[in-house]
Amino acid sequence: MLVKTEGPPNARIFLVGEAPGADENLLGRPFVSHAGKVLDSLLSYAGINRLDCLVGNVAREQPPGNKIEFFFEDSKCTKPKTLMLKYVNMLQQEIIQYNPNIVVGLGATALWALTGMRGIQSFRGYVQECTLVPGKKVLCTYHPAAVSRDWSLQFPAVMDLRKALRNSDTPDIPKDTRALRCNPSKREFIQYLQWLTFDWKDPIALDIETKANCHIDILGLAHSPNNAISFEILSGGRPKYEPREELEIWYWLSRALEVRPSIMHNGLFDACVLWLRNRVLTKTIFADTLIGAHVCWPEHPRSLGFLSSICLNVPAWKHQQTLTPTLYNAADAANTYGVWEVLSEELDRQKIRHTFDFEMSQVFPAGMLQLQGISVDKESQNDLLNSPKQDDLGRVIGIRPRLSLLTNEINRILNKNVNLNSPKQLQQVLYTDLGLPEQYRRRASINDPRKVTADSEALQKLSKINDNPALTMILEWKKLDKLQQFVDVTTSPEGKVHTSYNITGATMQREAKGLVVDDENDYRSFGRWSSSKSIILPFGSGNLQNVPRAARKIYRSPTGYSFISADYIQAEAVVVAYIINDLQLIRMFEDSFGKSRQYRKENNLDVHRITASQLFGIPIDKVTPDQRQVGKTLRHANNYSAGPGVLAAKLGIGMKEAKYLMNLYHQRNPMLRIWHQKVQNELRSTKILYNLLGRKHQFTERWSDELFRSAYSYIPQSTVGDLLNMSLVKIYNNYGDRIDIALQLHDAVYVIVPDHLISWAMQVMRECMLHPLQVNGMDFKIDIDFSIGPSWGEMEEVEYTDYVKSNLPVLPN
DNA sequence: GATTTTACGTA
DNA sequence: CGTACGTAAAATCT
C-alpha cells in the first residue's frame, strides 16, 4: 500500500523518514510502528508536537525484507533505480507545495535524498541548504529505528530535533558570519599575536595540527567564536621559514599564551606538543572543551565535531581536513571557542563546575607524566627475556628460550604445528583433534547465545579432566607469550617508555589512516584515568596501568633513588562499608587506621576474616585460611552482584553450595541488598548518580541487570579514582620539584625520590593523600600503605611508623 | 585495507 | 550474567 505524507499543510516542520515498514504498509500511514513510537518519544523530549508536523518518507512503499537497497542499483545505495527517482521527485514536489520552514531528514536515505550527502554520522545535526529544493533549510538526524537499535544515539537525536525546533520559526538559513582567515603572511600573523598579547583582554582558543612525529604543521587561533586565523608552519612536511623567523613566531606565541588564558579541545595534547617540540609553555589552560564535555555529558561522544553539532549552528567542516587544512584548522579554533561558551553555561546549569575545575587541575600533572616517561633498565629487560639460567625445577628462566622450548614440546605432543594465538586453531586442537568436551564462554546475559571458547579458563578446566601434558604447557605458553609483550618493549633514544594518561577516561584518540580521529563508540568513563599509547612519544607497551607484576622489574630507578608506592588500603571496600553503614566493618576500619600491618594482623583487623567469622558463625580468631578465602571471594562477588556460577567456579564448589553461601552472606549482611535497592530507586527517576565527591553520572543503558551492576560499581570506583587523583595533584603542586611522580594505578601512586628524601616524602605524601570523605553524616578517611623498592617490580611493604619518627615533615638538606 | 572478534593484562 | 580500562593478533568483511 502506498503511504502518503500526512499532517497540517501549513506545518513549519516536515519530518522525512526512509521507507514504510510492515505496519505503515498495512495502515497506509507513516511512522505508526515501533519506530513511530520512538519518533514520538524523541519529539516529545525535544518539545515538538508531532501533530504540528508534516510526516512522510522518501520511498512510499515497503521494500521487500525492509531492505532499502531494493530501491538502488548498488548495495551502497548510490545509484537509485527509476522507482526511487520517482519518489524523490514526489518528495521534491511536496516540499515545494507545503513550503515548511525546515525539513528534518531522518536517517541516511533522507540525508541522501535531501542533500546528496552520504554518512549520517558526519552530517547529522547541521543546518544546511537542501539540494533537492534549493533555498530550503534542512537538518538531518538519526532514524528512530537506528535510535531504537542503539540507545546511545538518543541524546544526539534529541539535541538535533531541538535545534530543528529552534530553526523552525523562519525559513531563513542561518548565515555563517564567521571570519575564518587562512594563510596570513608571517608578518600579519605575528601582528595578530602581538595584538592578542597587548590589546585583547579575553581568552583565546588554540588548536594545532601535527604531521609525522607530532611536529606542528598548522597553528590555529581564535579570539571569539566568529574570528579565527590559521597559519602554516610546515609545507609538505618541511619548514616554511628559516629557524630565526620561526623562532620569532614561537616567541610571540609564548608571549600571547603567557598572558591570555587559552581554550583548547584536548589541550593536554596541544600543550605537550608545544612544550616538547617548540618549548612554548601554555601557562594557563583556562578551559578545555574535551574536559568540559566529559564533565557535562560523560556518557556521550565528545569529539569537537560532535560537540559543535550539538552546541553550535555552524556547518559541518570535518570533511575539509585533507583539501583545505587551514580552513579546517581555523574552524576548529573558532568552534572550540563557541563550544566552550555553551559548555560553560551548561556547567553552571548542572551545578558541576567543581568537577570541571578538579579535572582541569589534573591537566598539568598528566601532561608531565606523559612527557617525563619512565626509564627501562636494559639489563633487567635482557635478563627477563633471554636469561639461559634455570630455576629449581630445571626450567629455563628467560622468556624467549622457555617459549621456544614449550612450542617445540607442544607441537611434538600434538604432532602438528599450531598457532596458539589463534583461537580457531586452538579450538580445532582441543575439541576436534583431542575430542575434549567443548567449553563455553561466560555470557553477559542469560539471553546471549552460548559461544565455544579456548581461553585460559577453558584450558584450566580441561587440564583438570584430562592429563594430556600439552594442556598445561599451552597454558604456560599463553601466559609467557602475553608477558613477553610487556617486557619486549621499544624504548625512546633516552631509554624510556611513555604513556598518555587520559583524564577523560575511555580512549579519545586512536590512530587511523595516519590521522588522529576521535572514537565515537563506548563512552563510560567513571572518572578514573585511563592510560594508553602516547602519540607524541610512542615508546613502550602503551597502557602502563596493565603491566603484569612479572614485567615490572624492567622499570628501575637510578642509583641513589627509590620507588615509593602509596596505595589506598581496601579502598572500595571502605567506601562501600560507610555507604551501607556496616557498623562492624566501619569499626574495624577505624580501629586499624594508622596501625601497622603487624598490629592489624595480631588484632584480626581484616575484612575477609570478619566476613568468614560472620558467615560461619565462629570467633574471628578461629577462622582458617581456607575460610578466609571463602569470605574474601564471597564479599567480592556480592559487592558487585556476581552470580552463583562465578562463585562456584572461583571456589571450585557446586552451584547448590554457591547459592547457599550467597544466601547466607546476604542474611548476615542485609545492608548490602538494601543499598542495592536504594541505588535502583535513585536510578529510577533520572538514572543519575553522584559519587562521594559530587561527580555526577547519568546512565544511558536500558533498565536491566547490567545497568544495575554498572551503577553499583560506579560510586565506590569513581570515588576512589577521584580521591587518588586529588592526592596526585596535591603531591604534584606542592612537592613536584622534589618528588618525581612515576605512575598512577587507580588506587595507588608511585613516585621516585632520592634515598635521603624517602622518609620526608612518605610523610608529605601521606599528608596529601588522607583526604576526608563524607557519607551518611559520617566523616572518614581511607588509610594508605607504603612500599619501597629499587624497581617497580621489587617493592617491599614498609611501615610508615618505622620510617617517620617526627610529626612534622622536615626536608633534609 | 579496514573492521570485528577473541583473548588477556591491570585496578 | 563483577565493572572499568587498552592492546595485540586473528578472523572476517568489503
Residue A510 has pLDDT above 80, yes or no: no
Report the distance from CA of residue A220 to the C1' of nucleotide C3 in Å, as an integer: 40
Q: Are A789 and A795 in contact (CB under 8 A)?
A: yes
Place of cell 528534518: A104
Report the distance from CA of residue A202 to the C1' of nucleotide B9 in Å, as an integer: 46
Cα–Cα distance for residue pair A597/A539, rounded to 1 Å? 38
Residue whose C-alpha is closest to residue A98's, from A183, A16, A188: A16
**pLDDT tens across A374-405, in order?**
999 999 999 999 988 888 888 888 999 999 99
pTM attached to this predicted model: 0.89
Average predicted confidence (pLDDT) for chain A: 90
Nucleotide closest to A446 measured between CA and C1':
C1
Report the distance from CA of residue A132 to the C1' of nucleotide C5 in Å, as an integer: 46
pLDDT at A523: 59
CB of A530 under 7 A from strand C?
A: yes
Nucleotide closest to A483 measured between CA and C1':
B9
Mean pLDDT score, A115-126:
86
Q: If pLDDT is split at 50, 70 and 90, which confidence band does A524 have? A: low
Cα–Cα distance for residue pair A584/A193, rounded to 1 Å? 63
Looking at per-residue pLDDT, the higher value among A710 and A18 belongs to A18
The DSSP code sequence of A760-787 is: HHHHHHHHHH---EEETTEEE---EEEE
Bases along strand C below 7 A from a protein CB: 1-12
Q: If pLDDT is split at 50, 70 and 90, which confidence band does A521 have? A: very low
For residue A263, list its beta bridge partners: A205, A287
pLDDT at A507: 57
CB of A545 under 7 A from strand C?
A: yes
Report the distance from CA of residue A576 to the C1' of nucleotide B5 in Å, as an integer: 35
Nucleotide closest to A720 measured between CA and C1':
B11
pLDDT at A67: 83
Residue whose C-alpha is closest to residue A198's, from A280, A251, A261, A259: A259
Can you tell me which residue has its alpha carbon closest to the C1' of nucleotide B1? A513
Can you tell me which residue has its alpha carbon closest to the C1' of nucleotide B9? A546
The DSSP code sequence of A123-183 is: HTT-EEE-SSSTT-EEEEE--HHHHHH-GGGHHHHHHHHHHHHHTTS-SPPPP---EEEE-
Q: Are A43 and A35 in contact (CB under 8 A)?
A: no
Q: If pLDDT is split at 50, 70 and 90, which confidence band does A232 have? A: very high
Residue A46 has pLDDT above 90, yes or no: yes
Mean pLDDT score, A623-643:
82
Mean pLDDT score, A436-450:
80
pLDDT at A444: 67
Q: Which three cell numbers stand for residue A568?
A: 589506598
Residue A515 has pLDDT above 60, yes or no: no
Cα–Cα distance for residue pair A412/A426, rounded to 1 Å? 15
Place of cell 552463583: A644
For residue A532, list its beta bridge partners: A500
End-to-end CA distance of chain A: 90
Residue A420 has pLDDT above 80, yes or no: yes
Q: Which of residues 104-143 of A touch strand C (CB under 7 A)?
A: none
pLDDT at A508: 46
Mean pLDDT score, A749-764:
95
> What is the Cα A155 distance to its own chain's centre?
18
> What is the Cα A390 distance to its own chain's centre?
42
pLDDT at A213: 84
Q: Which of residues 679-738 of A touch strand C (CB under 7 A)?
A: 705-706, 709-710, 713, 717
Can you tell me which residue has its alpha carbon closest to the C1' of nucleotide C8? A485
Mean pLDDT score, A106-111:
92
Report the distance from CA of residue A56 to the C1' of nucleotide C5 in Å, as an integer: 44
CB of A99 under 7 A from strand C?
A: no
What φ, ψ does residue A138 adopt, rounded to 5°? -130, 145
CA atoms within 13 A of residue A400's CA, in its CB half-sphere: 10
Mean pLDDT score, A800-809:
81
**pLDDT tens across A641-687, in order?**
777 877 877 777 778 888 888 888 888 888 888 898 999 998 888 88
Can you tell me which residue has its alpha carbon closest to the C1' of nucleotide C9? A421
Residue whose C-alpha is closest to residue A380's, from A496, A553, A560, A563: A553
Residues whose beta carbon sits under 7 Å from strand B: A 423, 427, 441, 451, 453-457, 478-479, 482-483, 512-513, 543, 545-549, 745-748
Report the distance from CA of residue A340 to the C1' of nucleotide C1 in Å, as an integer: 41
pLDDT at A506: 64
Q: Which of residues 419-438 of A touch strand C (CB under 7 A)?
A: 419, 421-425
Report the distance from CA of residue A571 to the C1' of nucleotide C6 in Å, as an integer: 23
* Radius of gyration of the CA atoms of chain A, in A: 30
CA atoms within 13 A of residue A505's CA, in its CB half-sphere: 22
- Which of the residue ranges A41-50, A117-126, A601-610, A803-812 has the most confident prediction, judged by mean pLDDT? A41-50
Q: Which of residues 452-491 of A touch strand C (CB under 7 A)?
A: 485
